[in-house]
Structure 1
Amino acid sequence: MIRYVLCGLAMLVLAGCASTGGSLQESATVTPRDDAVDLADRQAVRRILLDQYAQWKGTPHRMGGVSRDGVDCSGLVQRTFLARLGHEIPRTTRRQAKVGQPVSRDQLRPGDLVFFRTGYKTRHVGIYTGDARFLHASSSEGVTTSELDNPYWASNYWQSRRIGME
């Protein structure tokens, strides 16, 4: 019974991250601003991401949201990259999964995007923060961090992408 409850909860966590529609920004490109953070500076990127988490922790999940009133997984990623790291990336998970360059899971560094296949045509995205953790927006917990090695996330891991290698 508990297993079914946990599976159901996991499905709710990810329900808002399906990426089937279009977006205002249709291209799958990254545009750095003049004041963009050097994404190769792992310590700086990690500090910024942890600060972002501290500010957004518990922000509720809202499908299509991009503000502290509510945010979905790809909205959090887009907002973090633009507001905190100075890089404009696409809005949807589908488009985000096409930016940057593929990177293997064992080569992850802070700032890399991590993607999960969580259902039929459903994808979830977060930002790797280091120490096998990633920042994301969960429909049950809101903005949170999770362990990449958690059995659920490990079994649904799809790919990782590194921004700034274009």
Structure 2
Amino acid sequence: MRIKTTLCIACLAIFAGQALAAEPPEHVPGAPAALTSESIVAHSESLLDRASRGAGDLMNSGLQYLGIRYRFGGNSAETGFDCSGLVRRVFMDALGLNLPRTAKEMANTGERINPSELKPGDLVFFNTMRRTFSHVGIYLGDNRFLHSPSAGGKVRVESMSDDYWRTRFNGARRVVDQPELRSAETNIR
């Protein structure tokens, strides 16, 4: 419990200081809206704000599964998660995105990014079974990622700087808002 609390505090600290866009003033139906540069800025939400909120939603959703046991083919908290099952559940819960089922298929989704460009919410891939993209996790920031490791393990946060993960890193993807991934009706349980 102490680890979960510490991780939640650390995650909140990552997003501290990132202001959310101001609430737009109420608009009276039928009244003309004055378009000034100030009103446009006040009424629009920046891409950075939306991305920050999306990453925060992902982290909040993902961290609730800390300690859930690993299960090959698992995709629910009740039965356990494998790596891709965890990632699918988190992205569906937080953003309504229906990602492919396997780590290898996820590696073909979104935009390929360099390790130096990693941001919270990006997918990180590893070669853990002598084949590329055999393991996936969610980057949290500060060189840490959330994942469901392997048989006997539990959902946890680890450092990508650890020798094991550093030597097996295969790449990263940023899942962009792709229409084919949006599915509010898809049930992945």
Normalization by structure 2: what TM-score? 0.62
> Given residue 99 of structure 1, which amino acid in structure 2 is its aligned partner?
T
CA shift at 1:165, angstroms?
A: 6.6
Whether 1:164 and 2:173 are equivalent positions in the alignment is: no
Partner Cα distance (2:68, 2:86) in 1 = 10
Q: Which has the higher contact order (CA 8 A, sep 6+)?
A: 1
5+ unaligned residues in a row in structure 2: which ranges?
1-46, 179-189
Partner Cα distance (2:172, 2:63) in 1 = 24
CA shift at 1:106, angstroms?
A: 0.7
Partner Cα distance (1:73, 1:154) in 2 = 17
Normalization by structure 1: what TM-score? 0.70
Q: Give the strand-richer structure, 1 or 2.
A: 1
Partner-residue secondary structure (3-state), 1:142? coil
Pair 1:104–1:62, CA change in 2 (3 A): same
Q: 1:130 aligns with which of 137, 141, 155?
A: 141
Aligned to 1:151: 163
* Aligned residues of 1:53 and 1:144 also touching (Cα < 8 A): no
Partner Cα distance (1:138, 1:97) in 2 = 17
- Asked which structure has the greater CA Rg, the reply is 2
**For 1:131-156, what per-residue CA distance to the aligned partner results, in whole angstroms no more than 9, with x for missing partners?**
11111001243111111111110010
Where do 4+ consecutive residues of structure 1 move more than 4 Å? none
CA shift at 1:42, angstroms?
A: 4.4
Partner Cα distance (2:67, 2:163) in 1 = 23
Aligned to 1:67: 76
* Aligned residues of 1:39 and 1:164 also touching (Cα < 8 A): no
- How many percent identity over aligned positions? 40
Partner Cα distance (1:105, 1:44) in 2 = 21
CA shift at 1:50, angstroms?
A: 3.1
Aligned to 2:57: 48
CA shift at 1:55, angstroms?
A: 1.5
The two structures, once aligned, show a CA RMSD in angstroms of 2.1
* Aligned residues of 1:116 and 1:158 also touching (Cα < 8 A): yes
**For 1:95-118, what per-residue CA distance to the aligned partner results, in whole angstroms no more than 9, with x for missing partners?**
001001110001000111100011
